[in-house]
Amino acid sequence: MSVAEISHLEREELERVLASGIFERSPSLAQALTYICVKYFEGTADSIKEYNIAVDAFGRPPDFDQKKDSIVRVQVHRLRERLAEYYETTGASNEVQIVIPQGRYVPTFVRRSARQGDSAEIETLAQANLSGEAPPSPGQAAGRWKYWWPAGLAAAVLIVVGVFAVGLSRRGDTLVSAAPVDAGVVGATSGESIRILAGLETGTFTDGFGRAWLSDRYFAGGSVVKVGDYFILGTREQRLYQSRRQGMFGYDVPLKPGVYEMRLHFAETHFGETSLAGLGGEGSRAFAIVANGKTLMPRLDVVGEVGPRTADIKVFRDISPDSDGMLHLSFTPLVSVPFLNAIELTPGVTGKLLPIRIVTQERAYTDNQGRVWEPDRYAIGGQLVKRTANVSGAADPELFAGERFGNLKYMIPVPPGKYTLALYMAERWLGPNLPAGGGAGSRLFDIFCNGAALVRDLDVFKRAGGPDRAIVQTFRGLDPNHQGKLEISLVPHKNFPMLSALEVIDESR
């Protein structure tokens, strides 16, 4: 038997066991089995240790102490018993069987070969290889496996998620810390939003924008990791990223019929040089995002996209409930185990993202057309200051009641498409009869989108024809970068750039 045939049998057996239903009430055992088998297939069996299983598979914090916490030993003992029971009954005729030897965590794949009539015996794959060719060691298999094992594992994980039907979060598995659903909350209805904060055990959390986030619910599998008061870059909402669900998990969120926009929030605190554990970096964790059986994102590497300790928001349009009224959301491991900080579902429209409107103010503003402008968000760098709304040439002067100035960057998450960007500005500091004096040429700055220059040496005073006069700089046909962001940079040349409001419009039809 060839190396490829042996490897194929091993992978098939993992999928068969996961699909058998023996872990229906114990998703944490499926987590453990999948994790150790993937490490074996990946060629990193030497990393299958108690600490790594606890942190990577069960979501234990980096300070996990195996002397004080026996979770891995207990769960692997249960896993051995469950596998033994399975192979004595339903799986007795399986050609390949998975064994976890006592005192070890590395799996062994053995083969039941029918030889000399009806007699059968369990023998290692190396012994069963009648051609004399030894089975591949994990290290030998790694070079071949690393290119295509995610696809095989994805199928296995989707089988697991399918087995864990709605309601598993209410069952008694030791790693599922289900919170009671608030009275009267059954999910989003038409015209309503639903926001879930992973790891929030009870009650709700109201963010700085006045939006309520529900406690963690509708999940199956995984465990909660809390990182505490650990500062996350690129967000004003630190609480959204202070806890996460991690491991082998999925969400089945009940939704009323309709079209929604979905924002998933991530911040990596385990991997990366400046992370809590200080381990790894780019490529240390990667996973796929799947909704209702459709892959929305084949590979997300948060550190690779934004770095450690930094908020990363992924946006998806045209999200609708499945035929059963549920949004089935799952995460397929590619490297290490998936995680999620928060889910945000808001009513949308078919085919395009709703406009993003932001004022550089502390509070939201509803303009004279009834449109809501969110308070300042997605900004990196600069300072917020209050300004008077006494500007001329503006359809709605209140949009200019605040200003962010400095070396500015806005990282606006959007799905693929073409976008129009409008920047609202007025010179209220540099010019005749203004606090700092000066005039034309006193403030010059460049505007970039994803590194490409949109305008050089913009002089707002000159462009507007004087101080306290509003201008709107509009740029069309902008593409997000490969990380799903419109990275808008205002770079100083002479004095600092400033901005009062911005608007992003989806050009899709």
**What distance in Å separates the CA atoms of residue 493 and residue 509, rounded to the nearest whole number?**
38
Tell me what the mean pLDDT of segment 465-473 comes to: 95
CB atoms closer than 10 angstroms to residue 90? 14
For the cut 60, the answer to whether the pLDDT of residue 137 exceeds it is no
For the cut 50, the answer to whether the pLDDT of residue 377 exceeds it is yes
Question: In the prediction, which pLDDT does 187 show?
Answer: 44
Are the beta carbons of 454 and 475 closer than 8 angstroms?
yes
Mean pLDDT of the chain: 82
Are the beta carbons of 220 and 247 closer than 8 angstroms?
no
Residue 397 vs residues 366, 421, 464: alpha-carbon distances, Å: 12, 19, 15
Strand partners, 421: 475, 504
Single-letter code of the amino acid located at 424: Y
Strand partners, 314: 264
Give all strands of the β-sheet with 383-386 in edge-to-edge order: 383-386, 402-405, 498-499
Tell me what the mean pLDDT of segment 443-459 comes to: 97
**What distance in Å separates the CA atoms of residue 92 and residue 97, rounded to the nearest whole number?**
9
Question: In the prediction, which pLDDT does 3 show?
Answer: 66
46-50, 142-146, 294-298: range with highest mean pLDDT: 294-298
Q: How would DSSP label each residue in 398-417? A: GGGSEEEESSEEEEEE--SS
192 pLDDT band (50/70/90 cuts)?
confident
Tokens of residue 8, six digits: 């194929």
**What distance in Å separates the CA atoms of residue 150 and residue 287, rounded to the nearest whole number?**
9
Cα Rg of the chain, angstroms: 27
The DSSP secondary-structure symbol of 429 reads S
Are the beta carbons of 28 and 221 closer than 8 angstroms?
yes
Tokens of residue 433, six digits: 């009869």
Single-letter code of the amino acid located at 241: Y
- Which residue's structure tokens are 């009869």? 433
**Residues above pLDDT 70, as percent of the chain:** 83
* 370-376 contact pairs (CB < 8 A, 24+): 373/399, 373/501, 374/209, 375/208, 375/209, 376/236, 376/402, 376/404
Tell me what the mean pLDDT of segment 332-360 comes to: 95
More confident position, 168 or 150: 150
Sorted by where each starts, the structural domains of the chain and their CATH numbers stand as 3-163 (no CATH), 168-347 (2.60.120.430), 356-506 (2.60.120.430)
Short-list 386, 383, 385, 497, CA closest to 443: 497
More confident position, 115 or 228: 228
4 pLDDT band (50/70/90 cuts)?
low
* 351 Cβ contact list (under 8 Å, min separation 6): 317, 318, 508, 509
Question: In the prediction, which pLDDT does 20 show?
Answer: 84
Single-letter code of the amino acid located at 478: L
The DSSP secondary-structure symbol of 25 reads T
Question: In the prediction, which pLDDT does 479 show?
Answer: 97
More confident position, 7 or 137: 7
Question: In the prediction, which pLDDT does 180 show?
Answer: 29
